Copies of this chain bind each other. A is one copy, B any other.
């Protein structure tokens, strides 16, 4: 192979497509984008290419296809599984969507927005809010996460209970396929039976089947107001009973239902400045519930929440509860929830698992799997927290005091993760509920997936990306 002369020729051709603004080769400028935000994965790249639009991106991908050059798409670089970090070989182009950041159209009547891949989630929130509308998906990384990344990872977050994941919110997609062709599927049709659903195939494909360049997204009316409840409960089983009661009584008004063990709350209060305990005394477990209304004729959330909590207290489901009386109090409750991971890092190393099981099975799973892990691995402590209403928790296993933070995540960390994943599979669950597979869970997916599913995934990957140039090494082995 004659590597050396090829690269400059390739870069010249790319520069001719995207211009000087769209091409970065300076190592210092590149560096931040070659490591994932948590600093776990590091890679190298020929260059970072940032096309200004889908036509430029299409030309870049065609060129990459004709030269068999790997492409690693990247949005806000805030993924959780190393899905946007290239490998160490330095043979790939890092494809940044940052310059494709137009909000093409907002249609208040149809309640849709057409946003390009590089639009940051918070920017999207603000743009549609100005029209009295809301994009009902949010998550911790909203200041950096982009539409393209959210679509490609089928992102979740804290409002899935009412509004679903990205999959439920994407009405149309535009994408460049691995041969450089442009799939134009932005027009929203409520009914369309013209064969295989490419939209759903691209959602959650982590950039391995093509690069999403824009999406038509569903909007809902802006919130009129909301109330956030922080309640102490005896156990995950009590939380489950509370969830069932609230679903029956307030299914339409409940946006989120999160569970938090006391251990996580203690960590937050210890490490995060400006936080304070929401209840008068510690409780074994806590739940955070958000009630919202988006039409004035729906029940007022605060009064509604008060009545429901009074009933839950009478039925013995909650030990104590506080209801936000203002927007700043609502935000303070959410801050407790959103700071759990940060507080945990201050405590020491932990193995983190983003897992789901059927919603009805989650409470018992938290109890049984937590006990099994702590019994099997001396000195570990399990904290399972998060989206209990979706059957999805972040199942974290903290290292024993004094564990070596450099060594423990590999030994016995990897064995702990395999043990947790085995428990999840045995419960009929998923080893990736909302973060995706990326490079972090690729081998675990291969180990645990049923052969029919894995075989079909490999066949689809080979069919649409026969050269294996699209985000190689992620999700499915090449």
Contact = CB atoms under 8 A, between A and B. Distances in A.
A358 B445 contact: no
B359 A434 contact: no
Given A189-B391, A358-B110, A360-B109, A430 B194 contact: yes
A194 B474 CA distance: 12
Given A194-B432, A195-B445, A430-B189, A459 B452 contact: no
Interface stretch (A12-20, A66-74, A180-188, A271-279): A180-188
Interface string A139-156: 000000000000001101
Contacts of A244: 109
Interface string A346-386: 00000000001111100000000000000000000000000
A172 to B, nearest CB: 10
Q: Which of A196, A356, A464 has the most CB of B within 10 A?
A: A196
Given A110-B358, A183-B452, A463-B462, A457 B195 contact: yes
Interface in A173-216: 177, 179, 181-185, 187-198, 200-201, 203-206, 209
A154 B434 contact: no
Contacts of A457: 195-196, 198
A211 to B, nearest CB: 13
Q: Is chain A's binding surface mostly helix, strand, loop or mixed?
A: loop
Contacts of A428: 187, 189
Interface string A380-422: 0000000100111000000000000000000000000000000
B459 A464 contact: yes
A337 interface: no
Copies in the complex: 2
Q: Which of A359, A360, A436, A460 has the most CB of B within 10 A?
A: A460
A23 interface: no
Contact of A190 (B153, B185, B356, B431): B356
A460 B428 CA distance: 28
A437 interface: yes
A452 B62 CA distance: 13
A190 B437 contact: no
A351 to B, nearest CB: 19
A428 to B, nearest CB: 4
A100 interface: no
B432 A193 contact: yes
Interface string A151-171: 001101000100001010000
Contacts of A460: 196, 201, 460, 463-464
Nearest to A430: B192
Given A184-B450, A200-B197, A201-B200, A190 B463 contact: no
A435 to B, nearest CB: 7
Interface in A432-462: 432-437, 445, 449-453, 455-457, 459-462
B195 A205 contact: yes
Contacts of A449: 194
A434 B109 contact: no
A429 interface: yes
Contacts of A45: none
Contacts of A179: 455
B392 A190 contact: yes
B193 A357 contact: no
Contacts of A190: 160, 356, 359, 390-392
Contacts of A195: 204-206, 437, 445, 457, 475-476
Which are the 9 A-B pairs with shortest beta-carbon distances? Answer: A463-B463, A200-B200, A181-B452, A459-B463, A191-B433, A192-B430, A187-B428, A190-B390, A183-B452
17 contacts: A153-B193, A160-B191, A177-B455, A179-B455, A184-B452, A190-B391, A191-B356, A191-B391, A191-B430, A191-B433, A194-B445, A195-B205, A195-B457, A196-B456, A197-B204, A201-B460, A463-B463
Given A167-B197, A194-B431, A456-B464, 5 more contacts: A109-B244, A110-B358, A110-B359, A165-B191, A190-B356
